[in-house]
Amino acid sequence: MSPRRKSARRSRCIGNSGRLPLSKDWTHNYATPANTYCSEDPLVKGPFGVLWYGEPGPRKGIERHATPPMPLVVNGAMFTIGYDRVMAYDVYNGLCYWERELEGATRQHLPLNTSNLAADDSSLFIVTGNRRCLRLDARTGATLKSYELAKTGRAEPYWAWVARDGKARKCWRVSTS
């Protein structure tokens, strides 16, 4: 299914400051490909406040106790998943950039250091059905490339973890086969 652009009619914008200089992105489930659990953002300090409220809200997302992937934030866009759904929002005002149904995108009960999401300045990488990784355009949700797993002749390979490193625009995996 192709991405669907949406409006922020149900969201309330409290402020829109735009991207702050020196701010860092959260590109992987635990911040970086190295799972640092830290964005290295020198600007993060209190007091904290709400920038916007409304969508996506809890109804579209995977219940947090099911340990789904954490939302990723890159260049002011927040990427999050729901049940067979991926969504992109503006982190500063809640505007929905796009929403797309993707069968097999749901991941729950993630053990430490695993995820099916990674992002960079222009793309979101998402593993669907443990058989392929899609590279989606960050601003439109359109599929740019599909990465398939090669059969090894042994046990069926699967995507256990996905990361994006450097300028290669590749989808890396760790599989147990």
Question: How many domains does one find in the chain?
Answer: 1
- Between 140 and 48, the higher pLDDT residue: 140
Which CATH number do you get for residue 92?
2.40.10.480
Q: CB atoms < 10 A from the CB of 7, how many?
A: 9
Helices (H), 72-136: none
pTM (two decimals): 0.79
Per-residue confidence (pLDDT) for residue 106, from 0 to 100:
85
Residue 6 belongs to a domain: no
Q: Which helix (H) or strand (E) holds 135?
A: strand 132-137
- Binned at pLDDT 50, 70 and 90, residue 167 comes out as low
29 SS3 class: coil
Per-residue pLDDT tens over the stretch 84-108: 999 999 888 888 999 999 998 887 7
Per-residue confidence (pLDDT) for residue 92, from 0 to 100:
84
Residue 5 belongs to a domain: no
Mean pLDDT, the chain, as a whole number?
78
The DSSP secondary-structure symbol of 124 reads E
- Between 32 and 142, the higher pLDDT residue: 142
Residue 3 belongs to a domain: no
- Binned at pLDDT 50, 70 and 90, residue 119 comes out as very high
Residue 2 belongs to a domain: no
Per-residue pLDDT tens over the stretch 20-32: 788 888 888 878 8
Domain of 144? 12-174
Q: Please, how many CA atoms are within 13 Å of residue 117, restricted to the half-sphere of its CB?
A: 30
Return the amino acid letter for 109: H
- Between 25 and 114, the higher pLDDT residue: 25
